Amino acid sequence: MTALTADFNAPRVEGEFRSLPLAAGVKIYAGAMVALNPATGTVEPFATATGLVAVGRAEFQADNTAGAAGAISVRCRKGVFLWNNSAGADQITNANIGEPCYGVDDNTVALTNGTSTRSQAGTVFWVDSATGKVWVEV
């Protein structure tokens, strides 16, 4: 590797969308919160689990229930998305804006990591006062 000695037009990508390999034996619904499992290198629906990496929202349904890992891909979008809010001590409020939130399932976030049982889903962007649902930045 060498440093530049002339102008260079570095390739770029916008980064809003990614097509990532889908885990074996899973179905992801359009609009689901999805995560990369670093152990397998594949995407799966968000669930209560540790070690997952939030990658955004599935843009389309992807059914790999009969396929091997990576047999198909799922199109994922990063951004700010509206998810269900947990209840009780795990309920998110506008006092939590800017704080991390944690995935419970493919459509629900919580304030805490559930005693180290949940992965971070993103950052609290805003809580919709009309619905109580949470806007999450992924």
Say how far apart CA 19 and CA 34 lie, in whole Å. Answer: 12
Q: How confident is the model at residue 128 (pLDDT cuts 50, 70, 90)?
A: very high
pLDDT band at residue 122, thresholds of 50, 70 and 90?
very high
Report the candidate in 21, 33, 20, 133 with the shortest Cα–Cα distance to residue 124.
133
Cα 97 to Cα 126: distance, rounded to the nearest angstrom: 6
The Cα–Cα gap between 112 and 63 comes to 30
Q: Is the pLDDT of residue 1 over 90?
A: no
What is the dihedral angle through the alpha carbons of 114, 115, 117, 118, rounded to the nearest 10 degrees? 40
Give the whole-angstrom CA distance, residue 87 versus residue 67: 36
Per domain, the residue ranges of the chain are 17-77, 80-137
60-109 tens-digit pLDDT: 999 999 999 999 999 999 999 999 999 999 999 999 999 999 999 999 99
pLDDT at residue number 15: 79
Confidence label for 133 from pLDDT (cuts 50, 70 and 90): very high
Please count the other Cβ atoms lying within 10 Å of the Cβ belonging to residue 120. 17
Cβ atoms 99, 121 nearer than 8 A: no
User: What is the distance between the alpha carbons of residues 30 and 67, in angstroms, rounded to a whole number?
Assistant: 18
Q: Do residues 71 and 128 touch, judged by C-beta distance below 8 A?
A: no
pLDDT at position 66 is: 97
Both tokens of 65, joined, read 């229930």
Which pLDDT tens digit goes with each residue over 9-65?
998 777 789 999 999 999 999 999 999 999 999 999 999 999 999 999 999 999 999
Torsion angle, alpha carbons of 106, 48, 40, 57, to 10: 20
